[in-house]
Amino acid sequence: MISLQVDPSVIASGVNYVWILVVSFLIFFMQPGFALLEAGQVRAKNVGNVLMKNMTDWALGVLVYFIVGAGVATIIGGLTSPGGFSAAAAFSYIGDSGSWIDWLFGAVFAMTAATIVSGAVAERMDFRAYVVFAGIMTGIIYPVVQGLTWSGGLLAGSGYLGAILGVGYLDFAGATVVHMCGGVAGLVAAKMVGPRKGRFDANGDSQPIPGHSMLLAVLGTLILAFGWYGFNVGTQATVLAVTESGGLEFMGAALGRVALVTTLGMGAGAVAAVIVSAQYQGKPDPLWMANGLLAGLVAVTGAVPHVTWWGGLILGALGGAIVLPAFRFTVDTLKIDDVCGVFAVHGVAGAVGTALIPVFAVGGFSATQLVMQVAGVGVIALWTIVASAVVLFATSAVFNLRVSEAEELEGLDIGEHGVSVYPEFVGESSPDRALGTPTATDGGSEVRTDGGVEAEHTSDSFDGGDSK
């Protein structure tokens, strides 16, 4: 035993960064969660396309967010706050290995926002158009939101609006910064791409198009919940804090609150959604329970350190309870074909849960804070709507936003990628059922029976290009 001559901040860094690395990995693991959640909710003929879009979000997104996105966030933070900014400083992380763990921690949040969009536009969006949009989402649209909030911009306590109101916008782990941004961008994209064929009948009434595997959707949900512990609890990134006197403080109560509120929020969201679904549909529905669990998580994501445990429980229940009505509103009133309900799950639950933080605040209600919360939700939603619409409009000048009608019927897996995901399994394809025109020769059936034969049409799983 020796007398210790150590900077306590070194110990704090060691503990805190082990934590940050592990939660970053957990948040990355939300990528397969989203992939499964979305894949399960589309027809078998479009599964490969969904997987491709989800992998592209991540793979392309990290490159763009490293070269562009993270710097843009800092610049926007400087532009919308009195401090100003330096472009060189904003991009200095690129050469600073000491900041790269923090970059990764930021990147996994950015990629979560991006990947939400693919669930809204599944089964008909052109792949090239999607790639462009995903790149701009991770390079500009999300980074601007990050800049306005977490990077000290407009809505932060240090930003122009925060300075006026005297309070900063509260969104702890990104209920609106990440989830609502993704959910609203998805809504806009789903609107601009247009509904899937058969989603609305001649009278404009919606017709169900069942996904091919509720099991995958539920599995994706539970993987997301696992990753969400990293997302929410990990955002309490300081486990050991260095005190003013140079000592260390364990942030156990703060960590405990975010862990508990996350848990109660997801439980209450799932229970509330299943009750609502049983009322609405007559029977409790597993997929609505899963969506309620997710909506409960979204609803508390911004609130976890700020609200009482029972406040978190109520917010989670609220998020879960409104997910089905919000989805029906999207479909039946807005007439938007948001395939996986990302606006209901990520958009509405994020907005409501974050706006209501002051109502359940540990420190008591503050009207000023409520004003800031509503303003913040509005600013983020407005930016996301406008930016998404402009980007998609511009993209549509280069590529069609959606695939051809023939390709949509045949399935995007064949049309966009030349593959069949389940060559031994796929039975009767559902589009014809949805359209009320069953035929024996639809695209989906051909995939099943001829997958291995019409080799010019369908490559095999690993071996594309074998045959000429």
Contacts (CB under 8 A) with a copy of itself, residues 349-378: none
Among 244, 247, 367, 440, binds a copy of itself (CB under 8 A): 247
Q: What is the CA radius of gyration of the chain?
A: 23
229 lies in the site for a copy of itself, by CB under 8 A: yes
DSSP 172-231: SS-IIIIIIHHHHHHHHHHHHH-PPTTSB-TTS-B-----S-HHHHHHHHHHHHHHHHHH
Q: Is 397 in the site for a copy of itself (CB under 8 A)?
A: no
By the rule CB under 8 A, 463 interacts with a copy of itself: yes
Please state the closest distance from residue 468 (CB atom) to a copy of itself, in A.
Answer: 9
40-59 binders of a copy of itself (CB under 8 A): 40-41, 43-44, 47-49, 51-52, 55-56, 58-59
Least Å from the CB of residue 464 to a copy of itself:
4
**Minimum distance from residue 49 beta carbon to a copy of itself (Å):** 8
- What pairs with residue 421 in β-bridges? none
In which residue are the tokens 């609220």 written? 318
Phi, psi of 241, deg, nearest 5:
-105, 140
Residue 65: closest CA among 113, 13, 119: 113
Show contacts with a copy of itself in window 75-114 (CB under 8 A).
94, 97-104, 107
Binding mask 438-457 for a copy of itself (x = CB under 8 A): ----------xx-xxx-x--
**Of 12-20, 151-159, 178-186, 187-195: span binding a copy of itself (CB under 8 A):** 12-20
**Residue count at the site for a copy of itself (CB under 8 A)?**
160
- Contact between 390 and a copy of itself by CB under 8 A: the answer reads no
Tokens of 25: 């990995």
Q: Does 268 bind a copy of itself (CB under 8 A)?
A: yes
Interface residue with a copy of itself among 73, 129, 209, 352 (CB under 8 A) is 209
Residue 432 and residue 43 in contact, taking contact as beta carbons nearer than 8 Å: no
Residue 233 within binding range of a copy of itself, rule CB under 8 A = yes
Q: Which window, 70-78, 144-152, 209-217, 397-405, contacts a copy of itself (CB under 8 A)?
A: 209-217
Residue 25 binds a copy of itself (CB under 8 A): yes
* 304 touching a copy of itself, by CB under 8 A: no
What is the footprint of a copy of itself within residues 124-163 (CB under 8 A)? 127
Q: Give the H or E element holding residue 241.
A: strand 240-242
Q: CA-CA distance, 414 to 417, in Å (whole number)? A: 6
Q: Are 42 and 15 a contacting pair, CB within 8 Å?
A: no
Read off the tokens for 352.
Answer: 């409501």
Q: Does residue 61 belong to the site contacting a copy of itself (CB under 8 A)?
A: yes
The DSSP string of 405-453 is HHHHHH-HIIIII---S-TTT--S-SHHHHHT---TT-HHHHHHHHTTT
CB of 33 vs a copy of itself, minimal distance in Å: 9
CA distances from 231 to 3, 70, 279, 308 (A): 38, 18, 32, 19
User: Under the criterion CB under 8 A, does residue 334 sit at the interface with a copy of itself?
Assistant: no
Q: Is 385 in the site for a copy of itself (CB under 8 A)?
A: no
- CB 371, min distance to a copy of itself, A: 28
Which of the stretches 170-178, 327-335, 365-373, 385-393 binds a copy of itself when contact is defined by CB under 8 A?
Answer: 327-335
| DSSP code per residue over 267-315 | HHHHHHHHHHHHHHHSS--HHHHHHHHHHHHHHHHTTTTTB-HHHHHHH
